[in-house]
Structure 1
Amino acid sequence: MDEIHRLLSGVRIEETPFLVLDENRLRENARRFRAAFPGGRVFFSVKANNHPQVLQLFAEEGIDFDVASWGEIELLAAAGVPAERMIFSAPTKIPRHIEQAYRFGVRVFAFDSELEVEKLARLAPGALLTARIAVDNEGSFWPLERKFGISPEEALRLFEVAIRLGLKPHGLTFHVGSQNSDPLAWVRALERLRPLWKALQQNGSPLSCINIGGGFPSQFDQPVPAVEEIAREVLLRWQGWFGGQAELWVEPGRGLVGDAGVMVTTVINRARRNGHEWLYVDTGVFHGLIEGLEMFHFPYNILSKKQDEQRIPFIVSGPTCDSADVIRSEVYLPASLTLGDRLYIFPAGAYTNSLERYNGIPFPPVMLTGIKAKVGV
């Protein structure tokens, strides 16, 4: 609680809920990542936290940016970030976003399907391509390999297609899954890429970079490896495997912002239901704490100022009329908690405020039809 008190000491907001981000921690994280991967490029995954001041801060710290939509590019442009500091790493992109990004000056695009290569050839002629390779996600809290990635063999074939269509092979990329606590996960992924890297060299299509993606963890209820530990395992192999022939790229999201945020909430109700104590607070999984949803079930830390009292298990829930709005299904908190008491939920720097316009994509417009209906209601 001491660190939370320090963080809140300069905050003048009384009404909850609100999210507090620690600028000093954000800058420290940026410098740690850059120091851990000397000579590499660090790209912040904008989807993790798209607040303009966060983007501006990272730009000042020499961090580049991974975008997933034209909306995220617009945010970065407003912060003064030039196109050459952006890569479009979403493997599946909305066609008009490709066109807009290309016109703006973005030149590096990821892919993991033949149709995506064809889209890029038509909408971003001459673009630099990175192939998203499917790798094992063992050690991750939330695996991603089911939806994304291709085999090295398929990547080799699709690079040949890309060359015929006037595109330029540029690199390989992968993702070891969200919140990965195994430092060797990145090593196993690089091992899987090595034969493809060599084959492309032998075919006369040497690549310029390898992007080891994100997955860098924040501490919830269990200790996690620091970025320095993960980087050490990667760099021990890097020189022998790829030497000076490839630039090392890193693409953290949560790892840069997760531990910098605390969600401040207030208890608005308490009830006993089916033998369980329930606390209801004024924000929930649909308003910034989505990773508490049962399908994700990230174990947020939840603290109260009442430190010295008997603790009992609670189910902590958000305010909405939806039974899925449960932030954590069992957490020990002071037994006397009641209306008006504050709770502090963390790490909350990632995937909280960015959910208002996730991946920079707005909700679709609404149109009512009928004789008297008006468009855009």
Structure 2
Amino acid sequence: MTEKIARFFEERRPQTPCLVVDLDVVEQNYHALADALPDARIFYAVKANPAPEILRLLTGLGSAFDTASVPEIEMVLAAGCTPDRISYGNTIKKEADIRRAFELGVRLFAYDSEAELEKISRAAPGARVFCRILTSGEGAEWPLSRKFGCDLPMARELLIKARGMGVEPWGVSFHVGSQQKDLTQWDRAIFEVAQLFRELEVLGIDLGMINLGGGFPTRYRSDVPNSQAYGQAIFDSLRRHFGNHLPETIVEPGRGMVGSAGVIESEVVLVSRKSATDRKRWVYLDIGKFGGLAETMDEAIQYPIEVLGDDGSDAAAEPVILAGPTCDSADVLYERAEYRMPADLKAGDRVRIHATGAYTTTYAAVCFNGFAPLQQYCI
């Protein structure tokens, strides 16, 4: 946690739960990735955290944006970005939304099926399109399912079809899974994409772009490689498989851009046991899965959690089960993961949940059980 965030909590004492994002950290993360991948264009994944302050900051730094909906496109434009720096990267779009994005000036669209390609050709004639391929997601803490992308043979056919449908087949995209710590995963995908580029070149289709997706991590409870390590691994792979004929490359960081910039402060609502012999106490916070911590599903993302006033002594800590405040049995954050908290923890104590700048405010339900959406402060 930065001194600026600590000072904000101390001076403002905001009502919990709330998220505080340090914009200086966002800027540092942007520069770190830009320095690590100097030949790639950064398209910030707006879905990670669309706060206007973040979008304005990144626009000023020169970032482009990966968007998933028309409202996200409108948010980015309102932040001062021009439409030539926007990609409509969702492969599942209403035709009316494609048309509206095209009217707003967006000219870069993703697809992974013939039906989606047909919609784009009708609603966005002349646009550039890129086809998303499937990846395994192996090694990612938040793997992406088979919901997005198609296999290589289908991608080849879809890019060939695009040529005759009034749009420009421009590139190929993939995503190796969110919070990806295995540096080799990009190499596997880049190898497949390079093969596809060469096959299409023989047919007279010269693709110009490879979208390397996201996957760049935030440090939670264990160390992750730094931006330079990712940059070097990706650059080496591009050189190995494309030689000196490198296409335009773009990356779509979300978590890696804003995750480490945010801290949530929460209040303990209740500490209890289910029986006199329970080894673990239940600790209920005023934030849970439906308040912004949806990524605790299956305990996939394990946030660092600090109890205010705790001296960090393991001797004074006991294992706990962490849960949210709602009347929903699914609202349990961590039961298997070994979280420990002070033996004298009580209702009213405050905890800070670190590295929560990404995928929290955007996952928060709108008044589920009457609880207000997660409040956010960007400083």
TM-score (norm. length: structure 2): 0.90
What is the RMSD computed on CA atoms of the aligned residues? Answer: 1.7
CA shift at 1:136, angstroms? Answer: 2.3
Describe how 1:186-265 pairs up with structure 2 within 5 A: 186-242=186-242, 243-265=244-266
State yes or no: 1:306 paired with 2:304: no
CA–CA distance in structure 2, aligned partners of residues 349 and 266 of structure 1: 18
Residues 141 and 178 in structure 2, CA contact (< 8 A), matched pair in contact too: yes
Deviations 1:306-356 (A, max 9, x none): 333500011111110111112222411111111211101121011111225
CA shift at 1:216, angstroms? Answer: 1.1
CA shift at 1:60, angstroms? Answer: 1.4
The aligned amino acid for 1:89 is G
CA–CA distance in structure 2, aligned partners of residues 251 and 150 of structure 1: 19
Aligned partner of 1:155 in structure 2 is: 155
CA–CA distance in structure 2, aligned partners of residues 355 and 71 of structure 1: 16
CA–CA distance in structure 1, aligned partners of residues 300 and 125 of structure 2: 42
State the aligned residue count.
Answer: 356
- Work out which of the residue numbers 279, 283, 289 in structure 2 matches 1:285: 289
Aligned partner of 2:110 in structure 1 is: 110
Aligned partner of 1:57 in structure 2 is: 57
Give the secondary structure class of the aligned counterpart of 1:75.
Answer: helix
The aligned amino acid for 1:342 is R
Higher relative contact order (CA 8 A, sep 6+): 2
Aligned partner of 1:341 in structure 2 is: 349
Aligned partner of 2:125 in structure 1 is: 125
Residues 270 and 346 in structure 2, CA contact (< 8 A), matched pair in contact too: yes
Aligned partner of 1:316 in structure 2 is: 322
Give the secondary structure class of the aligned counterpart of 1:156.
Answer: helix
CA–CA distance in structure 1, aligned partners of residues 2 and 246 of structure 2: 45
State yes or no: 1:10 paired with 2:13: no
Q: 1:203 to 1:245 in 2, by over 3 A?
A: farther
Q: Where in structure 2 are there 5+ consecutive unaligned residues?
A: 369-379
Aligned partner of 1:72 in structure 2 is: 72
Aligned partner of 2:374 in structure 1 is: none
Aligned partner of 1:367 in structure 2 is: none
Give the secondary structure class of the aligned counterpart of 1:273.
Answer: coil
CA–CA distance in structure 2, aligned partners of residues 40 and 304 of structure 1: 40
Residues 8 and 20 in structure 1, CA contact (< 8 A), matched pair in contact too: no
Give the secondary structure class of the aligned counterpart of 1:118.
Answer: helix
Residues 180 and 215 in structure 1, CA contact (< 8 A), matched pair in contact too: yes
Aligned partner of 1:85 in structure 2 is: 85
Aligned partner of 1:325 in structure 2 is: 331
CA shift at 1:4, angstroms? Answer: 5.3
Aligned partner of 1:370 in structure 2 is: none
Residues 135 and 192 in structure 1, CA contact (< 8 A), matched pair in contact too: no
CA–CA distance in structure 2, aligned partners of residues 266 and 201 of structure 1: 59
CA shift at 1:292, angstroms? Answer: 1.4
CA shift at 1:6, angstroms? Answer: 4.7
Residue range with higher mean Cα deviation, 231-240 or 62-71: 231-240
Residue range with higher mean Cα deviation, 19-28 or 300-309: 300-309
CA–CA distance in structure 2, aligned partners of residues 136 and 191 of structure 1: 14
CA–CA distance in structure 1, aligned partners of residues 239 and 181 of structure 2: 24
CA–CA distance in structure 1, aligned partners of residues 3 and 105 of structure 2: 44
Give the secondary structure class of the aligned counterpart of 2:270.
Answer: strand
CA–CA distance in structure 2, aligned partners of residues 98 and 356 of structure 1: 26
Q: 1:127 to 1:48 in 2, by over 3 A?
A: same
Give the secondary structure class of the aligned counterpart of 2:318.
Answer: strand
Deviations 1:240-269 (A, max 9, x none): 432344011111111111111111001111
TM-score (norm. length: structure 1): 0.90
CA shift at 1:210, angstroms? Answer: 0.5
Residues 88 and 108 in structure 1, CA contact (< 8 A), matched pair in contact too: yes
State yes or no: 1:25 paired with 2:15: no
The aligned amino acid for 2:100 is Q
Residues 260 and 349 in structure 1, CA contact (< 8 A), matched pair in contact too: yes
CA–CA distance in structure 2, aligned partners of residues 240 and 182 of structure 1: 18
Give the secondary structure class of the aligned counterpart of 2:110.
Answer: strand
CA shift at 1:134, angstroms? Answer: 1.0
CA–CA distance in structure 1, aligned partners of residues 251 and 319 of structure 2: 40
Aligned partner of 2:371 in structure 1 is: none
Residue range with higher mean Cα deviation, 167-176 or 297-306: 297-306
Question: Equivalent pairs: percent with the same residue?
Answer: 39
Q: Where in structure 1 are there 5+ consecutive unaligned residues?
A: 364-377
The aligned amino acid for 1:159 is L
Residues 306 and 334 in structure 1, CA contact (< 8 A), matched pair in contact too: no
Aligned partner of 1:166 in structure 2 is: 166
